Structure 1
Amino acid sequence: MDDSTTTSHDRVLAQSAAGGWMFFLEAARDIRTTGALAPSGRALAHALTEPVRSQAGRRLNVLEAGAGTGSVTRSLIHQLPAGSRLDIVEANSRFTDRLRHLVRTHPSLAGQPGQARVHHAYVEELDTGHRYDAIISGLPFANFAPHQVEAIMGRYLELLRPGGVLAYFAYRGSRQARTLLSLASRAQARRQQAAEEVLADYQRHYATGRSTVWANLPPADVWQLQRPVERAPGASRESAAAAADR
């Protein structure tokens, strides 16, 4: 390995370590909106970005919500088909600054201004004028009130194109852990259970798959939900399937 390769590798490791510390500090500052103590690991990032890989070969509009320090964003950038658009929305201003630096300096985006855009906003309020083939969500639903989960999921469906896919994750055992921690946490556990019931309703109507990522800390379930293809009155199943493929 030559010196230039070593330097590049060391730079990537340094950026990753810095991102991990930044995530930890933001979690300590506001665990409610950060939702974890560490960024998503590689295995979780790989599972979350499957909807992009499954639609490879054509231009895509992709939205990432709750990008944090960019651990999943880096994976998305590498997988974007040529000519695709990536919108990244993040409510934490410190994370937003880091994400904008990532977009400005990532080699895969060189010479492609506007392919990836960072928005400092809540996803419920996001209005880019686009619909998306894939939405990758890193938002900490377990930390939100049920009405917030309902608002976010409703907005996701509005932003998806017919046939578009949403991927999001949920840590395994987090509600049970909250219940065991202390009596004061039981109210939080009840709130989380109510939020999970909102998600379960969306899963019953729209889920197309679920996988468990054991190689993450903590382990997480990754759900995929699909917005139904809109069919004209009297349209056959075959024509609807063909429309979904286009």
Structure 2
Amino acid sequence: MTGHAHAKPRSSASDYIRFLKAWVRQPRQTASIVPSSPWLGRLMAAQIDPNAGPVLELGGGTGALTREILATGLPRDRLEVVEINQQLARELHAGFHGVRIIQHPAESICEQAAGGEGAYQAVISGLPMLAFTPVQQEAILSEAFRLLAPGGAFIQFTYSPRSPFRRPVIQNLDLRIERIGTILRNVPPATVFGVRRAADTD
């Protein structure tokens, strides 16, 4: 499936400049030198029910995904955004009043998440999973699925057409992956995957 959009993109040149500066300062904490496109954000946000439980976003960056999540109608007090980069976290805090910004590693996010275990309908991830070790991937997914309610999904994008998660990690955690779609308009093209508990997909 290829993403389509009719509205004018809302990301700006200032987003790119801020993202590039963050990447230059701390390249290992920033997935790409280009912010996610509105089309990618819309496909990921489409997996959210604005009338359901809270949402956790991992890797807020300049807020490109955050804007699309809020555009679904999800109340701001039901969104928490994790961003470990100090400068980007400050800018997210200033730009998204009412959204809780958490500057903490995703590998141990349960201790900081306000909603508590089993409360979240979705985790939306912009983290560079391909750059993470299997141990890091397993830690992040373990934390996420502690927070996710039954039936909840971990939504991840990647610049590869294949899943960024190592197979042993998925098997160890008894999860299942589905390909949601590919956004060719993104630079570079991006594919979105949904991860769920195997028990929820049977």
- Which of 1 and 2 has higher RCO (CA within 8 Å, sep 6+)? 2
SS at match of 1:206: strand
User: Unpaired segments of 5 or more residues in structure 1?
Assistant: 1-11, 105-113, 175-192, 231-236, 238-246
Taking the aligned partners of 2:46 and 2:67, their CA distance within structure 1 comes to 14
1:90 aligned residue: 83
Check 1:173–1:30 CA distance in 2 against 1; reply closer, same or farther (3 A cut).
farther
Taking the aligned partners of 1:80 and 1:228, their CA distance within structure 2 comes to 29
SS at match of 1:39: coil
2:177 aligned residue: 207
The TM-score normalised by the length of structure 2 is 0.80
The letter for the 2-side match of 1:121 is H
2:106 aligned residue: 123
Higher helix proportion: 1
2:146 aligned residue: 158
Q: Within 5 A, what are the aligned runs for 1:20-99? A: 20-52=16-48, 55-56=49-50, 58-82=51-75, 85-99=78-92
User: Unpaired segments of 5 or more residues in structure 2?
Assistant: 1-8
SS at match of 1:169: strand
Using the TM superposition, give the Cα deviation of residue 213 of structure 1 relative to its aligned residue in structure 2, in angstroms.
1.4
Taking the aligned partners of 1:44 and 1:204, their CA distance within structure 2 comes to 27
Report the RMSD for the aligned CA atoms in angstroms.
Answer: 2.8
1:103 aligned residue: 96
| Larger CA Rg, structure 1 vs 2 | 1
Using the TM superposition, give the Cα deviation of residue 79 of structure 1 relative to its aligned residue in structure 2, in angstroms.
1.1
Check 1:41–1:83 CA distance in 2 against 1; reply closer, same or farther (3 A cut).
closer
Q: Within 5 A, what are the aligned runs for 1:130-145? A: 130=115, 131-145=119-133
2:189 aligned residue: 219
- For the 8 Å contact 2:70–2:76, the answer to whether it is kept is no
Using the TM superposition, give the Cα deviation of residue 35 of structure 1 relative to its aligned residue in structure 2, in angstroms.
1.5
Using the TM superposition, give the Cα deviation of residue 203 of structure 1 relative to its aligned residue in structure 2, in angstroms.
9.9
Check 1:48–1:199 CA distance in 2 against 1; reply closer, same or farther (3 A cut).
farther
The TM-score normalised by the length of structure 1 is 0.67
SS at match of 1:35: coil
Is 2:17 the partner of 1:17? no
Taking the aligned partners of 1:102 and 1:199, their CA distance within structure 2 comes to 35
Percent identity of equivalent pairs: 29
Using the TM superposition, give the Cα deviation of residue 140 of structure 1 relative to its aligned residue in structure 2, in angstroms.
0.5
1:234 aligned residue: none
SS at match of 1:68: coil
